[in-house]
């Protein structure tokens, strides 16, 4: 049984933290009783506006209509860069740590300004205007941040696609939001391995007739195909591009970015975030959740292709004038000490990573950690999936030396920023619990009929009140936005997660309630993987479920029915695994493929995934109600051949 951690002791953390428990209580109460007043105060404190708002919030969950700070004007890149220049021109904004140790550099706020302006001017030269969508498919190098901020500067809407996605996935995302410009690099490098980003882009845009420009950052300088009608060498334009570019004046509700994420059905959806509310929410959560104070060196290990990279590598920290570390590599290259060596090298004080990375490093033992000092650390964080108490305790004791609080932050692509988390100076820590709502966040648990559950209870996690960082729509499909999040429980935002509240009011996330998998913190829809499998000519039908995986949290388990006459061989399993990687990306590779001559279905033809999940988890004794199965022998066959 793991224990409650009351007082992390380093430098008397609680005394020096920004928010103690009484302050949390007072601010939380204020944020719930009069949210508009609370958010107006924070908006004045955290953000520089060209023009104030007419109304703070106008929200109607029954219509899926969400607006914050209507009438106000701002520019997000101005907020992340220009306004810091009078005092911080020479302070480091970004520390870049390359894949190979010893390859690092510091970028000051002045340099960031100049680089972003150059980038913005180059985009303008290529015809990019306010409102245009720009796709960014990049490795983790500073240019990914410059590209995002350059879009924000000129009012273009960026859509970052994770560099691990396949050409096919990139193509669907480019087409869905009709991006006409793609920003990429010749190659990415991770753990010494090259990732052919330009080649992938070429394959993707072969199916995107509207793409007129591919802006290529030459990073490894290895040769790639070159089409001079479309391809533009970024570095060639760089020197002559001006380091001045006036920020576009944007409405608070103008779109800032689109980020695709997986749902339980269909293609990934383009989550749309707007300017004013998003940047305020990213900034305020970054400050309070990470107890960010002047002089901190802050490192979030996420990739820019995910929401964590957007909000907590770039937008939140830069809006607060922080120093943020951008890491190109992986936790175990060249050795399992890498994370901690980087911490020592750059005196990182706040470190934010995913449970899957912690579990993978924990499996390699304490020695790689013990070889390093980590004495600069004062706060640790996790995100992306539930953290099991064993991994939490290891992170706390071995990595943090029992001196650093851990913030277990629960949130989603849709929420823009952290919604449930302990505040490090305000709450006793319970390993495995995301703990308490952030300011302005009103979580509730509902039963299946939508009735609120009080006290100790478990149910569907919903939000009863909007917050400024909430997504505004699914790009191009507002009905899908309503149907996905607001139709199950009218008047509430449904997160898709289940949760439990304990006697102290702490919230414990129990995981997704829909057909969304969380594999190493990466979100994948079972439907996407099934669609990829059935594209293979030898596959008749496929059903995909998750199963408990020691390192990844959840692994992908695929039941595959082959076309009549096709032989069930191990080499075909390999082929199908590679096929999925090619269709979606390596993160979607099934861990296990089981041949299924038939799938368990109800008499109306619905696949009974509940049963498939049990079989995948090796829980044969308790398959639940099987009386509605059309053909019970199917289940018998599957359990026998597990
Ligand atoms: O199931 C929850 C899980 O990740 C989902 C959101 O995934 P995504 O949009 O990719 O964003 C991940 C990074 C914010 C949630 O619905 N999740 C995220 N954080 C936690 C978590 N589950 C448990 N504990 C967390 N701290």
pLDDT digits (tens, 9 = 90+) for 381-425: 999 999 999 999 999 999 999 999 999 999 999 999 999 999 999
Instruction: Give yes or no for a contact between 423 and 408, defined as CB atoms under 8 angstroms apart.
Output: no
Q: Say which CATH topology domain 520-641 has.
A: GMP Synthetase; Chain A, domain 3 (3.30.300)
> Is the model's pLDDT at 234 over the cut of 60?
yes
- Preceding omega of 272 cis (within 30 degrees of 0): no
Which of 167, 191, 182, 551 has the alpha carbon at shortest distance from 357?
551
> Is the model's pLDDT at 10 over the cut of 80?
no
User: What are the tokens at 309?
Assistant: 């990279």
User: How remote is the CA of residue 259 from the centroid of ligand 1, in Å?
Assistant: 15
Pocket test for ligand 1, best of 395, 412, 443, 499 (most atoms within 8 A of CB): 412
Helices marked H in 384-507: 389-394, 478-485
What is residue 2's predicted lDDT score, i.e. its pLDDT? 61
Task: Judge whether 221 is annotated as a binding position.
Answer: no
Helices marked H in 379-499: 389-394, 478-485
Helices marked H in 47-103: 76-80, 85-88
Which residues on neighbouring strands pair with residue 474, listed in sequence order?
Answer: 271
Cite the residue boundaries of each domain of the chain with CATH code 3.40.50.12780. 11-436+447-500
The confidence band for 531, taking pLDDT boundaries of 50, 70 and 90, is: very high
DSSP structural state of residue 593: E
What are the pLDDT digits (tens) for 504-513? 999 999 999 9
Instruction: Please give the C-alpha separations between residue 309 and each of 148, 221, 303, 336, 559, in angstroms, as whole numbers.
Output: 11, 25, 5, 22, 33
What are the pLDDT digits (tens) for 625-642? 888 888 889 999 999 998
Instruction: Give yes or no for a contact between 374 and 340, defined as CB atoms under 8 angstroms apart.
Output: yes
Per-position b or e across 39-68, b if 16+ CB within 10 A of its CB? bbebbeebbebeeebeebbebebeebebbb
User: How remote is the CA of residue 412 from the centroid of ligand 1, in Å?
Assistant: 5
The interaxial angle of helices 526-534 and 570-583, nearest 10 deg, is 120
Which residues on neighbouring strands pair with residue 158, listed in sequence order?
Answer: 134, 257
User: How remote is the CA of residue 413 from the centroid of ligand 1, in Å?
Assistant: 8
What is residue 7's predicted lDDT score, i.e. its pLDDT? 63
The interaxial angle of helices 35-46 and 21-33, nearest 10 deg, is 120
CA distance 122 to 471: 29
Task: Judge whether 561 is annotated as a binding position.
Answer: no
Q: Strands, DSSP E only, in 101-140?
A: 104-108, 133-137
CA distance 316 to 76: 11
What are the pLDDT digits (tens) for 435-460? 999 999 999 999 999 999 999 999 99
> Is the model's pLDDT at 8 over the cut of 80?
no
Pocket test for ligand 1, best of 509, 520, 552 (most atoms within 8 A of CB): 509
CA distance 85 to 383: 31
- How many residues appear in the chain? 642
CA distance 109 to 93: 5
* CA-atom Rg of the chain in angstroms: 24
User: How remote is the CA of residue 382 from the centroid of ligand 1, in Å?
Assistant: 10
> Is the model's pLDDT at 1 over the cut of 90?
no
Q: What are phi and psi of 446, to 5 degrees?
A: -120, 150
What are the pLDDT digits (tens) for 120-156? 999 999 999 999 999 999 999 999 999 999 999 999 9
CA distance 321 to 318: 5
Query: Cβ contacts of residue 324 below 8 Å, gap of 6+?
Result: 93, 94, 95, 298, 299, 300, 313, 314, 317, 318
User: What are the tokens at 198?
Assistant: 């330009």
Sign of CA dihedral 518, 312, 275, 211: negative
Q: What are phi and psi of 375, to 5 degrees?
A: -75, -15
Which residues on neighbouring strands pair with residue 518, listed in sequence order?
Answer: 523
CA dihedral of residues 321, 323, 324, 330 (deg, nearest 10):
180
What is residue 277's predicted lDDT score, i.e. its pLDDT? 98
Q: What is the mean pLDDT of the chain?
A: 96
CA distance 540 to 529: 14
Q: What are phi and psi of 416, to 5 degrees?
A: 75, -35
**Among protein residues, the one whose CA lies closest to atom 13 of ligand 1:** 384
> Is the model's pLDDT at 13 over the cut of 90?
no
User: What are the tokens at 499?
Assistant: 């949760």
190: enclosing H helix or E strand: strand 188-190
What percentage of the chain has pLDDT greater than the value 70? 99
Nearest ligand 1 atom to alpha carbon 496: 16
Nearest ligand 1 atom to alpha carbon 414: 9
In the block, tokens 């022998």 appear at: 633
Does the ipTM surpass 0.90?
yes
DSSP structural state of residue 426: T
User: How remote is the CA of residue 415 from the centroid of ligand 1, in Å?
Assistant: 10
What is residue 347's predicted lDDT score, i.e. its pLDDT? 98
In the block, tokens 């296990």 appear at: 592
Query: Cβ contacts of residue 417 below 8 Å, gap of 6+?
Result: 278, 281, 282, 284, 285, 286, 311, 316, 411, 438, 467, 469
Instruction: Give yes or no for a contact between 589 and 577, defined as CB atoms under 8 angstroms apart.
Output: yes
Q: Does CATH number 3.20.20.140 belong to domain 11-436+447-500? A: no
Question: How far, in whole angstroms, is CA 613 from its chain's centroid?
Answer: 25
Section 42-65 average pLDDT: 98
Section 560-572 average pLDDT: 97
Please list every protein residue whose CB sits less than 6 Å from any atom of ligand 1: 261, 307-308, 383-386, 408-413, 434, 495-497, 509, 511-512, 518, 523
What is residue 57's predicted lDDT score, i.e. its pLDDT? 98
CA distance 388 to 342: 25
CA distance 91 to 292: 16
pTM metric for this prediction:
0.96
Query: Cβ contacts of residue 231 below 8 Å, gap of 6+?
Result: 214, 216
Strand 297-300 to strand 73-74: parallel, antiparallel, or no bridges (unpaired)? unpaired
CA distance 569 to 591: 16
**Among protein residues, the one whose CA lies closest to atom 18 of ligand 1:** 384
Section 239-263 average pLDDT: 97
CA distance 414 to 421: 16
User: What are the tokens at 389?
Assistant: 């108490």
Burial of 440 (0-12, 13-18, 19+ CB in 10 A): buried
**What 3-state class would DSSP assign to 480?**
helix
Nearest ligand 1 atom to alpha carbon 523: 10
Which residues on neighbouring strands pair with residue 183, listed in sequence order?
Answer: 136, 215
The interaxial angle of helices 197-205 and 167-176, nearest 10 deg, is 50
User: How remote is the CA of residue 384 from the centroid of ligand 1, in Å?
Assistant: 4
CA distance 585 to 569: 23
């Amino acid at each position: 049984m793991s224990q409650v951690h009351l007082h992390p002791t380093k430098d008397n953390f609680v005394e020096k933290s920004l928010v103690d428990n009484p302050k949390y209580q007072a601010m939380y109460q204020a944020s719930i009783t009069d949210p508009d007043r609370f958010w107006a105060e924070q908006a004045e404190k955290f953000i520089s506006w060209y023009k104030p708002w007419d109304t703070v919030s106008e929200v109607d969950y029954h219509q899926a209509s969400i607006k914050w700070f209507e009438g106000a004007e701002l520019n997000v890149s101005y907020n992340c860069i220009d306004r810091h220049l009078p005092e911080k021109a020479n302070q480091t904004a970004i520390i870049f740590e390359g894949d190979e140790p010893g390859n690092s550099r510091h970028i000051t706020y002045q340099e960031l300004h100049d680089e972003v302006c150059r980038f913005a001017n180059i985009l303008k030269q290529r015809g990019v205007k306010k409102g245009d969508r720009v796709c960014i498919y990049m490795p983790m190098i500073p240019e990914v941040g410059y590209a995002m901020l350059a879009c924000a500067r000129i009012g273009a809407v960026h859509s970052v696609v994770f560099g691990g996605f396949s050409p096919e996935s990139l193509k669907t995302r480019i087409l869905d939001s009709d991006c006409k410009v793609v920003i990429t690099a010749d190659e990415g490098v991770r753990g010494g391995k090259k990732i052919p980003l330009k080649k992938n882009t070429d394959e993707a845009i072969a199916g995107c007739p509207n793409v007129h420009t591919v802006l290529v950052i030459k990073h490894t300088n290895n040769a790639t195909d070159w089409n001079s009608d479309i391809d533009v060498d970024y570095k060639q334009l760089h020197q002559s591009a001006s380091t001045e570019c006036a920020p576009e004046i944007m409405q608070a509700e103008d779109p800032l970015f689109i980020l695709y994420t997986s749902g339980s059905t269909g293609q990934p959806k383009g989550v749309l975030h707007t300017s004013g509310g998003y940047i305020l929410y990213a900034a305020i959560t970054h400050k309070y959740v990470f107890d960010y104070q002047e002089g901190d060196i802050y490192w979030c290990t996420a990739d820019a292709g995910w929401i964590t990279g957007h909000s907590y590598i770039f937008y939140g920290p830069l809006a607060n004038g922080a120093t943020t570390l951008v890491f190109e590599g992986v936790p175990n290259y060249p050795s399992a000490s890498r994370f901690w060596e980087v911490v020592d090298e750059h005196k990182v004080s706040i470190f934010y990573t995913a449970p899957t990375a912690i579990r993978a490093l924990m499996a390699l033992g304490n020695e790689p950690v013990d070889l390093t000092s980590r004495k600069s650390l004062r706060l640790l964080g996790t995100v992306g999936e539930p953290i099991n108490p064993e991994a939490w305790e290891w992170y706390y004791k071995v990595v943090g030396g029992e001196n650093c609080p851990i913030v277990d932050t629960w949130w989603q692509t849709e929420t823009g920023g952290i919604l449930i988390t302990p505040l490090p100076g305000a709450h006793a820590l319970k390993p495995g619990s995301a703990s308490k709502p952030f300011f302005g966040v009103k979580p509730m648990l509902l039963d299946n009929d939508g009735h609120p559950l009080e006290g100790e209870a478990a149910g569907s996690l919903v939000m009863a009140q909007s917050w400024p960082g909430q997504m505004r729509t699914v790009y191009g499909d507002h009905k899908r936005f309503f149907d996905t999040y607001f139709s199950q429980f009218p008047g509430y935002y449904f997160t898709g997660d289940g949760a439990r509240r304990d006697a102290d009011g702490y919230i414990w996330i129990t995981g997704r309630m829909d057909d969304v998998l969380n594999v190493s913190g990466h979100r994948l829809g079972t439907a996407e993987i099934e669609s990829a499998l059935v594209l293979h000519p030898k596959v008749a039908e496929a059903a995909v479920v998750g199963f408990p995986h020691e390192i990844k949290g959840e692994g992908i388990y695929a039941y595959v029915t082959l076309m009549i006459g096709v032989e069930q061989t191990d080499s075909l399993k390999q082929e199908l695994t590679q096929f999925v990687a090619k269709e979606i990306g390596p993160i979607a590779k099934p861990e296990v493929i089981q041949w299924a001559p038939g799938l368990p279905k109800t008499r109306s033809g619905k696949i009974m995934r509940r049963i498939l999940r049990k079989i995948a988890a090796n829980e044969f004794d308790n398959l639940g109600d099987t009386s509605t199965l059309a053909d019970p022998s199917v289940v018998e066959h599957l359990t026998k051949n597990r």
